[in-house]
Amino acid sequence: MSMLQITRIVGPFSWGWLSDYLSSRIGIIRFCACLAALIFLCIYFLQDYIGFFIWMFVLHTILSSLMPLGESATIHALYKDNSFDKRYGRLRLWGSIGFIAMVLAAGELFQRKTIELYPIVGTVVLFALALITFCLHEPKMGRRKMVKGELLIVLFNPDVRWFLLSGFFMIFAHASLYVFYSLYLADLGYDKFEIGLFWALGVAAEVIFFYFQSKVLSRLDAEVILQAAFGIGVIRFILIAFLPITSVLIVAQLMHAGTFAAHHSAATKLLQHWFMGPVQARGQALMATISYGLGGTLGGLCAGWIWEASQPRDVFVMSAFACGLAGMAIQKLRPRRYPAR
């Protein structure tokens, strides 16, 4: 499983660079989706660990392109229409709905039948994804030759570095949630069904936020929303660690609307002030690499070490501390007003 995180480090930025170089996002998404579907077919012929390892690495390196490039194409189209605040959340919520629907449906299928159906399910899903990409249209964007060092110019801005550092710490904090929350709940005596309800509650909370996102983004600066998200994160993880009773854990899961959905929306909006036009795809990919790649990997490793060496609750104390560091990083941004786009 650690290899999946490695592909999140090396994959997104490579695909983002190629996208900016070719001035094509949907074309690369379509290519990667089709290639992933074909490569997945190799699962029917794998017979040893080395082959499975190589297959997993190649497949997930290709799949790592889809989210940042899809986000980049969507954001570019919405900013052209000046409708990001109003429409982004209504589009993004379908990713959350698709996630929970797939988890519930596949989980029920594997429970009733057998996990051996996984290759068939994976084949159907990936080929369906490949077909759907042919319904997408490339947003109009000016094609021009890439300028050497143009990305470095953006990265020299200290605000950008503080922003990326805050994203690193936020996903670092959430790694413990994604890796150990189910085990933590099981240790507290909850059964699999109840644990599933906790996860479903968190996803429902993020869907509700995405639906009403426009009311928040139109009233508050992205920096303010990020500061609030980090503060909510500190409270959320402290509650999980020190007050693990059902009513409090329910409240903590509802806070996922702030720590994930609000953070994601505000971070995506703020990112566009620095990474625009010819560096947009690389900017989106860089955010994915630093946060989900590096942050998720190191967060999971540290959480695993603490889980083994100390009490389970200390994993979430670490997460609260990381959210605090993220808040300190975002406060380093210089106050300013951005022109409307």
Angle between helices 280-288 and 263-271 in degrees, nearest 10: 140
Residues 55-90: tens digit of each pLDDT: 998 998 899 888 888 888 888 888 777 788 888 899
Query: What is this structure's pTM?
Result: 0.88
Q: Which residues of the chain fall short of a pLDDT of 50?
A: 338-341
| CATH architecture of the region 2-135+150-330 | Up-down Bundle (1.20)
Tens digits of per-residue pLDDT, 146-175? 556 678 888 889 999 999 999 999 999 999
Q: CB–CB of 20/70 below 8 Å?
A: no
Residue located via tokens 């605000």: 159
**What's the pLDDT score for residue 340?**
43
Separation CA 8–CA 13 (nearest Å): 9
- Give me the residue spans of the domains in the chain: 2-135+150-330
Report pLDDT for 339: 46
Question: Which of left, alpha, beta for 210 (phi over 0: left; psi -120 to 50: alpha)?
Answer: alpha
Report d(CA 341, CA 334) in Å as an integer: 20
